[in-house]
Amino acid sequence: MRKLPLDHPGVADARNGWAFLRWIIRGQWHTIALGMVFGVIWMTCSAVVPAVIGKAIDSGVTARDPRELWKWAGILFAVGVVQAASGIVRHRYAVTNWLTAAYRVVQLVARQATHLGATLSKRVATGEVVAIGTNDLSHIGNAMDVLARAMGALVSFVVVAVILLQTSVTLGLVVLLGVPLLLLLLGPLLSPLQRRNLAQREMMGRLANIATDIVGGLRVLRGIGGERVFSERYRTESQKVRMAGVSVAKLQSVLDALQVFLPGLFVVIVVWLGARFAAQGTISPGELVAFYGYAAFLVMPLRTATEAANKWIRAYVSAQRIVRVLALEPEIDDPGTAAAAPPVGSHLIDLASELVVEPGLLTAVVSEPPADAALVVDRLGRFAEGDVLWGAVRLSELPRALVRERIVVSDTGSLLFAGRLADQLAGARRGQADISEVLTKALHTAAAADVLAALPAGLDSEVAEKGRSFSGGQRQRLVLARALTLDPEILLLVEPTSAVDAHTEARIADRLVELRRGRTTVITTSSPLMLARADVVAFLEDGVILARGTHSDLLTTCPRYRAVVTRDEVEEVAR
């Protein structure tokens, strides 16, 4: 049995859906192979049961020989024990194969999401990622699960055909040719089923995306009275998904009905032929019973074969969706040849805006609109393309892992994840000896001690998905505490106090200056409370630094800066 999750899921073959499924099989071939071995033993035992019963009837019952009857009864018992044991082991391997495939998909998509970073939300809808985590991984797991039974069905069919040919060539040929014919009759339904499954899968992804948008913006919708509009939109889209599901179910119901009807018809034909041969004396009564048992048994391999085809169609559709995500490349990628890391205490310069971030100082960046300052921070943190110097090295020449380790960006889109609060806040420092002290300082600086005090289990409390159990201001303070806990060489904060009241903001500003003293910090804000405590304030206009100095100096010397910070109109300031 395997330890899950895997230490590393590997590098997937993302050329197409079939290539991805083959890669999944290669990654767990030994457990799949063992599952197949026990699947073959399990189903072969079922296949030979009719032969044993037939022998018991002919040698024991018809011949009135108790010893033969006891012998074949013992053989039947032994076959049953082997079948039960192999069935249990096969099921364990089937579950292992399902879980291994599902975990590998989850780990692959999670690693890809981390690798893509901000590119993921731009290129893939949130609902699509949700659908992969809720539906597609199940279909991939089901495809790996059914392989053991499918191999058992194939081998048992061959075993039965060989036994029948040795007993009666006619009946053997009926079985040998009839079973593939039945599968061919079901074949024309599989291609339309695949198309309908694909269409439904596309609609489910869109519907999940709409649901995510609605849940994420529920407060805003209530504020503007847009709940009814979005409710109608969701209802309309959900009805389309329902109709697509009904379309799939119609075809699936026909396929399921044929899986019962055609094998049943096949059993009737085999039994009728067997009865005629028994009446003619060609076969014995025991062989007739055995033939009936074979015909009844063959229903299981037939249904397993069609089930396997159905599950692999669904798995292929899901694999196609997964490889689309895995094939994406980040907008910002590592250089071919990495430059040497700059020394600690190097300047950070954004050449496009001419912003110079002095080491060890708290620099505030002001702009109208605020998005201009946020874009500069994205470039400084290498979340957007830009010509940025870090010391004597261009930021684009450094590995992203190095940049992320030494430069931390916390913006307004930062979220809390589901899980234990202490683990959320500690991040990469989780498990360090001084983490308790570091968390206490960070929470104090972010003025989040009251948030912690209100939680029944404190730092051991469980955080809801995206931190929805907290208010906007509480989430913002906890996100700030998380960034401060990392204590990076360079910390870039985008509007870190936009959702808190003035009294709380003043406390955060004072404590932030104290905690980050001597450490390079950049804040984008237009709040006078934060700006007054900054070592340097840079004012952006049209994406370029227009003025630089202290907050009090700029209020006197730069009317446009004063207009943005005090919310006055530029024309009024000019008068």
Residue 395 confidence class, pLDDT cut points 50, 70, 90? very high
Q: Which of 150, 134, 115, 130 is nearest to 14 (CA)?
A: 115
Q: How far is Cα 278 from Cα 281, in angstroms, rounded to an integer? A: 5
Say how many Å lie between the first and final Cα of the chain, rounded: 79
Q: Which of 528, 437, 523 is nearest to 485 (CA)?
A: 437
Residue 503 confidence class, pLDDT cut points 50, 70, 90? very high
Segment (H or E) for 539: strand 536-541
pLDDT (0 to 100) of residue 221: 44
SS3 content of the chain, % helix, strand, coil (to 5): 70, 10, 25
Residue 216 confidence class, pLDDT cut points 50, 70, 90? low
DSSP for residue 466: G
CATH 3.40.50.300 domain position(s) in the chain: 348-574
Spell out the residues 6+ positions from residue 38 whose beta carbon is closer than 8 angstroms to its own: 86, 87, 89, 90, 93, 148
**Mean pLDDT within 286-314:** 79
CATH of domain 17-326: 1.20.1560.10
pLDDT (0 to 100) of residue 575: 42
72 pLDDT above the threshold of 70: yes
144 pLDDT above the threshold of 60: yes
Q: What is the pLDDT of residues 182-198, one digit of tens each?
A: 767 666 766 676 666 66
169 pLDDT above the threshold of 70: yes
Other C-beta atoms within 10 Å of 89: how many? 17
| CATH 3.40.50.300 is right for the domain spanning 348-574 | yes
Q: How far is Cα 133 from Cα 29, in angstroms, rounded to an integer? A: 23
pLDDT (0 to 100) of residue 35: 93
Q: Return the higher-pLDDT residue of 29 and 226.
A: 29
pLDDT (0 to 100) of residue 222: 47
Q: Return the higher-pLDDT residue of 329 and 390.
A: 390
**Mean pLDDT within 425-451:** 86
Q: How far is Cα 293 from Cα 285, in angstroms, rounded to an integer? A: 12
Mean model confidence pLDDT for the chain: 83
Q: How far is Cα 398 from Cα 390, in angstroms, rounded to an integer? A: 10
525 pLDDT above the threshold of 90: yes
CATH 1.20.1560.10 domain position(s) in the chain: 17-326
If you write DSSP's letter for every residue of 172-193 in order, what string do you get?
A: HHHHHHHHHHHHHHHHHHHHHH
Q: What is the pLDDT of residues 331-349, one digit of tens each?
A: 777 787 888 999 999 999 9
| Alpha-carbon distance values, 142 to 100, 137, 148, 314, 459 (Å) | 11, 9, 11, 9, 39
In the Cβ-directed half-sphere of 541, how many Cα atoms lie within 13 Å? Answer: 10
**Mean pLDDT within 400-424:** 85
Other C-beta atoms within 10 Å of 336: how many? 6
**Mean pLDDT within 252-260:** 74
546 pLDDT above the threshold of 90: yes
Segment (H or E) for 404: helix 400-406
Q: What is the pLDDT of residues 427-437, one digit of tens each?
A: 777 777 778 88
Residue 282 confidence class, pLDDT cut points 50, 70, 90? confident
